[in-house]
Chains A and B, each alone.
Chain A
Amino acid sequence: MNRIELKNLLPDVFRGAEKEPPVSLSELWLRDFAFEKGQTYLIVAESGTGKSSLCSYIYGNRHDYQGRILFDGIDSRRNGIARWSEIRRREIALLPQEMRLFPELTAMENILLKNNLTNHKTRAEIEEMMRRLEIADKIDSPAAILSVGQQQRVAIIRALCQPFDFLILDEPVSHLDARNNATVAALAAEEAKVQGAAIIATSVGNHLSIDADVTIHL
């Protein structure tokens, strides 16, 4: 996938409020915009402007919007279940804001749950990423007892365990310190570079320490 186009997109909750902020001030809602493979995007938003909704719309798990999202020119609403599953395994990786780890599984099991599906990384590579993000000692700890910051790092590694053309990071560093923020940015950038992929990172305050090609105010 090379291009994700947003055409006149508007969440259903903003319907009727088109002339008011935040929609009237937005650089994305009700406009035409395209994410290109290989670029890095930073979406800066205030809380409640629909940032996580945008991620879900692109990832195909919510459809409560008007307008169109085109994948290489094809309306994503036309995708069937099989196509969406394929996209989620091979083309778009998502780090959800709420992480969605399985609390009863260990950190490693949570990551393997994705990697078993894609066979993208070796166990050694996963352990190396955990070491770089300073959670190597948590490898066998259940996700339930990890701190939010640790969970965030596990979820980021999980998101990187697949081939992708677009990596969507929804508030990836909201609970991380500056050092880990830099490591996450470096990991994501490295992976994206290898795959020639785009990074779309959102943030309400704590920005990912990455050189964005485009910064958008939602």
Chain B
Amino acid sequence: MSLVWKLLRRNISAGQLVGYALANLVGLTIVLTAIQFYRDISTALDDEDTFVTKDYIIISKKVSSLGGLLGKKVTFSKGEVENLKAQKWVRKTGAFTAAGFNVAASLEMGGRGVSTWMFFESVPDEFFDVKPKGWGFDPSRPRIPIIISKDYLSLYNFGFAASRGMPQISESMVGMIPLTISLSGNGKQEYFPAKVVGFSSRLNTIAVPQSFMEWANERFADRPIPDPSRLIIEVNSPGDPAIDQYFAGRGYEVAGDRLNNGKMAYFLSVMTGIVVTVGVIISLLAFFILILSLYLLLQKNRDKLRDLMLLGYTPRQVAANYRNIVVIINILVLALSVALMLLGRTFWSSAFEEMEMDLASTWPTILIGFAIMATITVCSIYAISRKITRLF
């Protein structure tokens, strides 16, 4: 132990330093935990495969009873789509393309055929929440991959099958059923093999690849392709109140509670902001405790410090002892708060994993913690040096 340290450690108040360490530990832990939670949630929200798809909104026009009878259009004109695209909260828009031909599906079960009229729609691939195997279309080997809404399967399994005592079927079972699709129109009729390859929780429709739809419309359409009746929009800030106003003002309807999810994300980011601010304020107050405690210590040791410098010790040599205290305490605080943040994370990480949501990396959060503590350390050391230099 150096003699200088032996001399200077006397007036160090362990209570004050522990107080600082605890206060800063609380503040920093709050900041880091909030940041990590927000990052994890954001990663889950951005994750294409989860049910909390925050960025997509599907809109349609209201169908009124009278308007329907009078043939009032419920489709979006080019002008309306352009206007929508010009909104600053819109990142991308995609139209639901309808088929200009007739579709019928049939399947063979034990020698008995079942067949039904149905419809197809398509949206650009980038708007799908699922990217199943076999998605796409090759005209030289025509097979039609189909994505249907998860809701349809749920309706059957939990509504129809449950009440009628019929077997429930899984997604993979549906995918094994071979379908035959008949397309007719423009004086032609052709049959294609088809399969349900995926289930979407975002798109409430029976979807086929856009490339197939274009190909088939060219071949079979005998009526003009109608304007899209539904649009899918990727938005920048789902919680933006301007979105609600825009839709309400034009009588557009939003499908499902997608917008509510967006609002939740927006609310979450506001909450995180508040929590982080509280944590930062606690950390700042802790920093002031540290500075005050150090100033008090320097004040108590004023004569000793002066005498040491009178012997020829430089302010830097004397300050080194206080610097070491600050650095050691701050390293401990950082390590502990990172540990607490990781511990806190286990409370939500298991829940996230159960929902098959991805978690964000913890490194950026740890780096932020390091940056905060480095700043506090540098500021404290600067304050100490200044104070001691003044005593010279």
Q: Which residues of A contact B (CB under 8 A)?
A: 59, 61, 81-82, 84-86, 88-89, 94, 96, 100, 102, 104-105, 109, 112-114, 116-118, 158, 162
A89 CB contacts on chain B under 8 angstroms: 312
Question: With contacts defined as CB atoms under 8 Å apart, how many contacts are there between chain A and chain B in the complex?
Answer: 48
Judged by a CB distance under 8 angstroms, whether B7 is at the interface is yes
Closest A residue to B7 by CB, please name it.
Answer: A102
Judged by a CB distance under 8 angstroms, whether B43 is at the interface is no
Given known pairs A104-B10, A105-B7, the reply for A81 and B314 (CB within 8 Å) is yes
**Do the beta carbons of B4 and A114 come within 8 Å of each other?**
no
CB distance from B65 to the nearest CB of A (A): 89
**Do the beta carbons of B307 and A88 come within 8 Å of each other?**
no
**Do the beta carbons of B310 and A102 come within 8 Å of each other?**
no
B307 CB contacts on chain A under 8 angstroms: 100, 102
Given known pairs A81-B389, A81-B392, the reply for A162 and B7 (CB within 8 Å) is no
Subset of 20 A-B contacts with CB under 8 Å: A61-B306, A81-B314, A81-B315, A85-B309, A85-B313, A86-B312, A88-B312, A94-B310, A102-B7, A102-B304, A102-B307, A104-B7, A105-B3, A109-B3, A109-B6, A112-B3, A113-B308, A113-B311, A117-B312, A117-B313
How distant is the Cα of A158 from the Cα of B6 in the complex, in angstroms?
Answer: 18
How distant is the Cα of A37 from the Cα of B306 in the complex, in angstroms?
Answer: 28
Known: A100-B307, A114-B311. 8 other contacts (CB 8 A): A59-B310, A84-B392, A85-B314, A89-B312, A102-B304, A114-B312, A116-B3, A118-B312
Closest B residue to A108 by CB, please name it.
Answer: B3
How distant is the Cα of A176 from the Cα of B238 in the complex, in angstroms?
Answer: 88
How distant is the Cα of A94 from the Cα of B311 in the complex, in angstroms?
Answer: 9
Given known pairs A81-B389, A102-B7, the reply for A88 and B315 (CB within 8 Å) is no
How distant is the Cα of A105 from the Cα of B2 in the complex, in angstroms?
Answer: 12
A88 CB contacts on chain B under 8 angstroms: 310-312
Closest B residue to A118 by CB, please name it.
Answer: B312
**Do the beta carbons of B312 and A85 come within 8 Å of each other?**
yes
How distant is the Cα of A158 from the Cα of B310 in the complex, in angstroms?
Answer: 12
Consensus secondary structure, chain A interface: helix
B 295-319 to A, binary, CB cutoff 8 A, 1 in contact else 0: 0000000001011111111110000
Given known pairs A81-B389, A81-B392, the reply for A100 and B4 (CB within 8 Å) is no
How distant is the Cα of A194 from the Cα of B308 in the complex, in angstroms?
Answer: 26
B312 CB contacts on chain A under 8 angstroms: 85-86, 88-89, 114, 117-118, 162
A114 CB contacts on chain B under 8 angstroms: 311-312
B 1-44 to A, binary, CB cutoff 8 A, 1 in contact else 0: 01110110010000000000000000000000000000000000
**Do the beta carbons of B3 and A113 come within 8 Å of each other?**
yes
Closest B residue to A116 by CB, please name it.
Answer: B3
**Do the beta carbons of A117 and B311 come within 8 Å of each other?**
yes
How distant is the Cα of A201 from the Cα of B2 in the complex, in angstroms?
Answer: 32
CB distance from B173 to the nearest CB of A (A): 83
**Do the beta carbons of A105 and B310 come within 8 Å of each other?**
no
CB distance from A38 to the nearest CB of B (A): 23
How distant is the Cα of A94 from the Cα of B312 in the complex, in angstroms?
Answer: 11
How distant is the Cα of A113 from the Cα of B311 in the complex, in angstroms?
Answer: 8
A162 CB contacts on chain B under 8 angstroms: 312
Closest A residue to B2 by CB, please name it.
Answer: A116
CB distance from A61 to the nearest CB of B (A): 6
How distant is the Cα of A66 from the Cα of B104 in the complex, in angstroms?
Answer: 109
Given known pairs A81-B389, A100-B307, the reply for A105 and B6 (CB within 8 Å) is yes
How distant is the Cα of A35 from the Cα of B93 in the complex, in angstroms?
Answer: 91
Closest B residue to A162 by CB, please name it.
Answer: B312
